Structure 1
């Protein structure tokens, strides 16, 4: 299932405070970039994930955000450097933008 135009518009509105963004469709979802750096994903099921590296990993864990993991058949789960955006940020562009700015500072 691919992301809808409405889902793409919503996620770009959430992060509009960052300035110009670019995107790339991949695997039915969308990668979101600022100045050529990927910082968020819109998954094919509509979930929005934000990238965390360095101290942002600890911050996202402390916030209780769920980390994205996946498992291939017969393999152990793999934790990716992305966390689910908190529900509160899905309706608050200021919160989403603040989290994205902090994440980008550590990428």
Structure 2
């Protein structure tokens, strides 16, 4: 996977009125945070917004596919992320709309705690 840093900069610049966007590289992609809340990933130069059961019907209605990846054993796995509509790349208001939905999904997600090293 690759990271389109221009895409991340666009997201960060557009969401300045909402909060501070940071990112962390992970497995060839990047996880995006807004004020510490995970709300998106960038994988293979594509923006994927966080979703959950509450938001899934809205993503489905917009035709936004679910993030999938191939496991080492050959099976396909999915994650709670949806491909951003193409319009988010051209319109800051559209990006803000879909990002708000993803941020709320991120806030509803349970917080994972890292295990302390023994």
TM-score of the superposition, structure 2-length normalised?
Answer: 0.76
Name the CA distance, whole Å, in 1 between partners of 2:77 and 2:4.
27
Question: Counterpart of 2:20 in 1: which secondary structure?
Answer: coil
> RMSD of aligned C-alpha atoms?
1.9
RCO comparison, higher one (Cα < 8 Å, 6+) = 1
Name the CA distance, whole Å, in 1 between partners of 2:8 and 2:102.
20
Residues 16 and 97, structure 1, Cα contact 8 Å, conserved in 2? no
Aligned to 1:35: 35
Q: Which sections of structure 1, spanning at least 5 residues, go unmatched?
A: none
Which residues of 2 match residues 16-31 of structure 1 at below 5 A? 16-31=16-31
Name the CA distance, whole Å, in 2 between partners of 1:6 and 1:22.
13
Which protein is bigger by CA-based radius of gyration? 2
Residues 17 and 97, structure 1, Cα contact 8 Å, conserved in 2? no
Higher alpha-carbon deviation: 7-16 or 46-55: 7-16
Structure 1 runs (4+) deviating above 4 angstroms are none
Residues 4 and 42, structure 2, Cα contact 8 Å, conserved in 1? no
Question: Counterpart of 2:82 in 1: which secondary structure?
Answer: strand
Aligned to 1:93: 92
Question: Counterpart of 1:105 in 2: which secondary structure?
Answer: helix
